[in-house]
Amino acid sequence: MITLQFIIIILCLLLGTRYGGMGLGLISGIGLFILTFIFGLEPGKPPVDVMLTILAVIGCASVLQTAGGLNVMMQFAERLLRRHPQHITLLAPFTTWSLTFLCGTGHVVYTMFPIISDIAIKKGIRPERPMAVASVASQMAITASPVSVAVVSLVSIIGANHGIGHAYSILEILAISVPASLVGVLIAALWSLRRGKDLDKDPDFQKKIKDPEQRAYIYMAQQIRY
């Protein structure tokens, strides 16, 4: 029975991701209807605390964006990366980690990806090296950010001392998650230094930039203006 219910959930998720948008919500509702009225499962209570936390985080990020604070943070981050382009693969993930750590959501780092790509390709570094690890680092920082939904939810869950023998505070959690995520980002960045071939040794890339139009598109279209 549990297996069948699990299959229904997976099917609803797959169909929802295929249609996206409103389709995801509608198909999820169909799955909830089947589980409730056919299998007789009782719906749980909505996660109000988590929803309010998400609302607070989004509200703070919106205020930061409207006040121009996010643009200032991005400019400082870009300045740092452009000052040391040869270390883009190492600096980019720590930059995106810091932005997510401060804002509590990984959505604020999307603007950094064109900048990272521009710096990397102009320095002759394969763009996927810094971009891939920077994307991962921005999500790893969610587990270390004191204003992220994940950390706040974890504190609320284990803070009630549910059979674990100790009510951990947010500082105790961050004392582990912050250094652990930073070490993980460092290891991922070091591994990413050798990801793929160097651009000057990549025959496909060299063949592509022999075309003047392709070369202009790759190098000139990377200009980032504010």
Q: Taking the domains of the chain in order of start, what are their residue ranges?
A: 1-44, 47-220
CA–CA gap between residue 207 and residue 150 (Å, rounded): 45
CB neighbours of residue 13 within 10 Å: 14
Give pLDDT, residue 226: 42
CA atoms within 13 A on the CB side of 157: 9
Give pLDDT, residue 131: 92
Q: What is the pLDDT of residues 145-154, one digit of tens each?
A: 988 888 887 8
**What is the arithmetic mean of pLDDT over 28-34?**
88
Give pLDDT, residue 162: 60
Q: What is the pLDDT of residues 37-64, one digit of tens each?
A: 988 888 778 778 778 877 887 888 788 8
Find the helix or strand (DSSP H, E) in which 149 lies: helix 149-158
Give pLDDT, residue 225: 44
Q: Which residues contact 199 (CB under 8 A, 6 or more apart)?
A: 121, 124, 125, 126, 205, 206
pTM, 2 dp: 0.74
CA–CA gap between residue 107 and residue 93 (Å, rounded): 14
pLDDT value at 28 more than 90: no
Residue the block writes with tokens 């643009």:
71
Give pLDDT, residue 48: 80
Distinct helix (H) and strand (E) counts, the chain: 11, 0
CA–CA gap between residue 164 and residue 153 (Å, rounded): 16
Q: How confident is the model at residue 160 (pLDDT cuts 50, 70, 90)?
A: low
Q: What is the pLDDT of residues 62-93, one digit of tens each?
A: 888 889 888 899 899 999 999 999 999 999 99
